[in-house]
Chains A and B, each alone.
Chain A
Amino acid sequence: MGYVAVKGGSEAIEESIQRLKYERIKKGTVLDIRDIEGGMRGLIDTVMSESSLYDRQVASVAIKQAEGSIEEAVFLMRAYRSTLPRKYYSNVIDTKNMFVERRISASFKDIPGGQILGTTYDYTHRLIDFDLSKENTMEVEKWLDSYRKKREIEEPADVDLCNLPRVTDMLRKEGIIAQALEDNTPPIDVTKKNMEFPTKRSERLQVLTRGQTGAVIALGYASLRGFGDLHPTVGELRVGYVDICIANPMGDDEFYIGNIQITEVESYISSPDKNNADGNKLNLTIGYGVCYGQNESKAIAMSILDTDLETQEKKFPTQDEEFVLYHIDSVEATGFISHLKLPHYVTFKSKLDGIRRTREAREK
């Protein structure tokens, strides 16, 4: 009888996968997808944004499967995304027509259309509400009822929430916003074509918006704190819905295919006026941040990094596009870090050989 190969690997993997399932359900409870969709808005928004796939239901399943691990859920979504046929690019979305749910400006107290606080944690005290552990459906329904009734009797606001004037437009009229010509070059799709350096702004914005939330915020913070040149002012932060349309291939019109919630930020940074020959005048440039769902810190950090990467004079790592753009993707970063768990004994043996050789050489 001949020798047969050891079959350890397959069985060990199978057992490990069983064990993983056991950990997820061992308490005998089944997490309902509707509960995730209903109550895990923040998690879903983070996952959708980092996955660059907008689908609350699929995100909810991914979150369930990943036991709430963002890194894993994003990984699942991205792999799923790879299998989806990509048939259309949407038409350009003008966010001027966003249905605004929340909109604030840190630059001006009074803005046309007013500040709209909307949904935010900003003014809550971060005290754990222990009553939530006892929250039940009945009291929730009662609360919802009275909340909705109150809404009904309220006078509707006399602003058109789908056509709010932009803060930037006010400043543009005054001429202190750096004049940017309309640029209608079709964006480069970074998932279809590799980035080439120096990159185009469309590439940078794509990589930033799908970046890992923590990574984008950390680099944005580093820039703000001192490893960058700027202290931006949030000109306008908006959260709301925008319509997605695709062009009709047979005609001039377009088809509406749905809407998505986004967070959009315009930050102002003062910089030398390029059109002023003496260089003694300043104007404002705009840093732009946008992402799926309500991810405000990420969108603001993105607007900082957008400005940083536009800077011609590179003094800080946050202005180095390779440093920023190559390292903020969740799937890439966590994948390469986690690959260190794979066996490296061939390479390590090779390394040892190199080390041993230097010792032999010295002893000689």
Chain B
Amino acid sequence: MGTKYNFAFFDEGSKREIRRATLKAIAIPGYQVPFASREMPIGRGWGTGGLQLTLSLIGEKEILKVIDQGSDESVNAVNIKKLIVSTTGVQTTIDTRKATLIQSRHRIPEIPLNKEQILVLQVPIPEPLRVVEASEHKTKRLHSESDYSGAWLMLFEQIMKYDSVTHGADYPVIVKDRYVMSPSPIPRFDNPKLNNSEALILLGAGREKKIYAVPPYTKVISMAFEDYPFRVENFSGQKCHLCGGQGVYLDEIVDEKTGETYYQCNDTSNCLMRLNGGK
């Protein structure tokens, strides 16, 4: 490939079209903007929404970082990076601080992002109300009427049944006191990072053909009740066996020989930075 395709795969018209949808998304925080999602050379559901955002935004001077489930070296991250680099020739990095454009699946990096950076999140199911309402026609109306009783009831029912909110990743948030938004399947642990973020956060769902955004310094609150406050995943008393990191999202690993469970930083770049004596 390479030479036969335009810079960043798409023709300029397509990129502009995607950027227009992106601008609209930024103007209406948390609102899902439909866009003419293209078929990509990677699978629908493998990050085509994020990839389209990245390709529409990328310039020659961009420094790109791609992560999948916290890792720069996860096969899918490598594969997406390979496609972007082969059609753009941009520089890549694993160092979160150096990147200007970060595409990620299911994680927000541990180090706070800054205002020079854009975070692109890959989204499988953009509709936070899909679990309570299967029809797109109806969920669109619920959003326009701010009718989020279904989402509240879902949380309420979990509390009634299990005495706790059992929702795992992709925990719904309220953006700027208006739209309920699916933050993509980031763990609950990452939800607070959406609030008042310095970096622009863009979310792209290729298969479902939606783009939405959390602009910088936007209020993002995880849905919760006063007496049942929002809780992130519990890592108390656990630390990374490599860098000793605490207060970060940890992967659970089982030792093949001893059968013992130990923990390791999920954000590999952050772990590496700590190991190398970075702050």
A350 touches B73 (CB 8 A): no
Give the interface centre of B38, B165, B167, B186 by most chain A CB atoms within 10 Å. Answer: B38
A346 pairs with B187, CB closer than 8 A:
yes
CA distance in complex: A83, B39 (Å) = 9
CB distance from A71 to the nearest CB of B (A): 10
- Chain B residues within an 8 Å CB radius of A349: 187, 233, 251-252
Q: Mark A320-364, 1 if CB is under 8 A from B, else 0.
A: 001000100001101111110011111101111111111001100
Residues B45 and A339 in contact, CB atoms below 8 Å apart: yes
Q: Determine whether A10 belongs to the interface, using a CB cutoff of 8 Å to chain B.
A: yes
Contact B45 A7 (CB under 8 A): no
Instruction: Verify if B153 is at the interface (C-beta below 8 Å from A).
Output: no
Q: Which of B22-30, B64-72, B192-200 contacts A (4 or more CB under 8 A)?
A: B64-72
Cβ of A197 under 8 Å from chain B:
yes
**Chain B residues whose CB sits within 8 angstroms of the CB of A83 once the complex forms:** 5-6, 9-11
| A9 neighbours in B (Cβ, 8 Å) | 71, 73-75, 77-78
Whether A336 lies near B207 (C-beta < 8 A) is yes
**Whole-angstrom distance between the alpha carbons of A75 and B42 in the complex?**
9
Q: A322-B134, A339-B124, A354-B168 are in contact. Are A194 and B34 (CB under 8 A)?
A: yes
Kindly list chain B residues whose C-beta atoms are within 8 Å of the C-beta of A342: 46, 68, 76, 105
A334 touching B163 in the complex, CB below 8 Å, given contacts A5-B73, A347-B185: no
The smallest beta-carbon distance between B87 and chain A, in angstroms, is: 10
Contact status A5-B167, CB under 8 Å: no
Main secondary structure of the interface of B (DSSP, over half): loop
Give the CA-CA distance A356 to B252 in the complex, in Å.
14
State whether the Cβ of B111 lies closer than 8 Å to any Cβ in chain A. Answer: no
Q: A3 within 8 Å of B by Cβ?
A: yes
Check B43–A346 contact: CB distance below 8 A. no
Looking at A197, A198, A338, A343, the one whose CB has the most chain B CB atoms below 10 A away is: A343
Question: B132 contacts the other chain (Cβ, under 8 Å)?
Answer: no
Question: Which A residues touch B251, using CB under 8 A?
Answer: 345-346, 349
Given known A-B contacts A10-B78, A12-B75, A339 and B39 have beta carbons under 8 A apart: no
| A194 CA to B35 CA, complexed, in Å | 6
* Interface-side segment among B112-120, B174-182, B218-226, B268-276: B268-276
Chain B interface size, as a band, is 35 or more
Q: Which of A7, A342, A351 has the most CB of B within 10 A?
A: A342
- Judge whether B187 and A347 touch: CB under 8 Å: yes
- Per the bound structure, the CA–CA distance linking A81 and B38 in Å amounts to 9
Check A361/B162 contact, CB under 8 A, given A336-B45, A350-B169.
Answer: yes
In contact, A198 and B168 (Cβ under 8 angstroms): no
Interface residues on A, range: 35 or more
Contacts of A194 in B (CB 8 A): 34-37, 209
B46 touches A335 (CB 8 A): yes
Query: Is the Cβ of B168 less than 8 Å from the Cβ of A347?
Result: yes
Q: Is residue B94 contacting chain A, with contact meaning CB distance below 8 A?
A: yes
Whether A13 contacts B79 in the complex (CB less than 8 A), given A2-B276, A82-B38, A346-B107, comes out as: yes
Q: Mark A31-43, 1 if CB is under 8 A from B, else 0.
A: 0000000000000
User: Distance in Å from the Cβ of A293 to the closest Cβ of chain B?
Assistant: 20
> Does the CB pair B75–A3 fall under 8 Å?
no
Q: In the complex the two chains form, is B75's CB within 8 Å of A334's CB?
A: no
Q: Which of B14, B40, B73, B266 is within 8 Å of A10, CB to CB?
A: B73
Are A353 and B234 CB-contacts (below 8 A) given A192-B36, A361-B164? yes
Decide if A347 touches B170 in the complex (CB within 8 Å): yes
Q: Which residues of B contact A81 (CB under 8 A)?
A: 39
Query: A102 within 8 Å of B by Cβ?
Result: no
Q: How far is the CA of A180 from the CA of B7 in the complex (A)?
A: 48
Q: Are B167 and A354 in contact (CB under 8 A)?
A: yes
Q: A5 touching B272 by the CB < 8 A rule? A: yes
Tell me the complex Cα distance, A46–B172, Å: 41
Asked whether A339 and B272 contact (CB < 8 A) given A13-B79, A194-B34, the answer is no
- Cβ A331 vs Cβ B35 within 8 A: no
Q: Counting CB contacts under 8 A, is A156 at the interface? A: no
The answer to the question of B166 belonging to the interface, with a C-beta cut-off of 8 Å to chain A, is yes
A75: B residues at CB distance < 8 A:
39, 43
Per a CB cutoff under 8 Å, which of A12, A337, A344, A362 touches B69?
Answer: A344
Nearest residue in B to A3 (C-beta to C-beta)? Answer: B275
Check if A343 sits within 8 Å of B124, measured CB to CB: no
Q: How far is the CA of A9 from the CA of B187 in the complex (A)?
A: 23
In the bound complex, do residue A322 and residue B135 qualify as a contact, i.e. CB atoms below 8 Å apart?
yes
- Besides A9-B75, A347-B185, 19 other CB < 8 A contacts? A5-B268, A9-B73, A78-B39, A197-B135, A197-B140, A331-B44, A332-B44, A337-B45, A338-B43, A338-B45, A345-B251, A346-B106, A349-B187, A350-B168, A350-B185, A350-B187, A351-B168, A351-B169, A358-B166
Q: Which residues of B contact A (CB under 8 A)?
A: 5-6, 9-11, 14, 34-41, 43-46, 48, 68-79, 82, 94, 105-107, 124, 134-137, 140, 162-170, 185-189, 207, 209, 231, 233-234, 249, 251-252, 266, 268-269, 272, 275-277
Q: List 22 A-B contacts (CB under 8 A).
A: A2-B275, A5-B268, A10-B73, A13-B82, A79-B40, A83-B9, A191-B36, A194-B209, A196-B34, A197-B136, A197-B140, A322-B136, A332-B45, A336-B45, A344-B185, A346-B266, A350-B169, A354-B166, A355-B166, A356-B234, A361-B162, A361-B163
8 closest A-B pairs by beta carbon, nearest first, are A335-B44, A339-B45, A194-B34, A197-B137, A78-B39, A336-B45, A351-B168, A350-B168
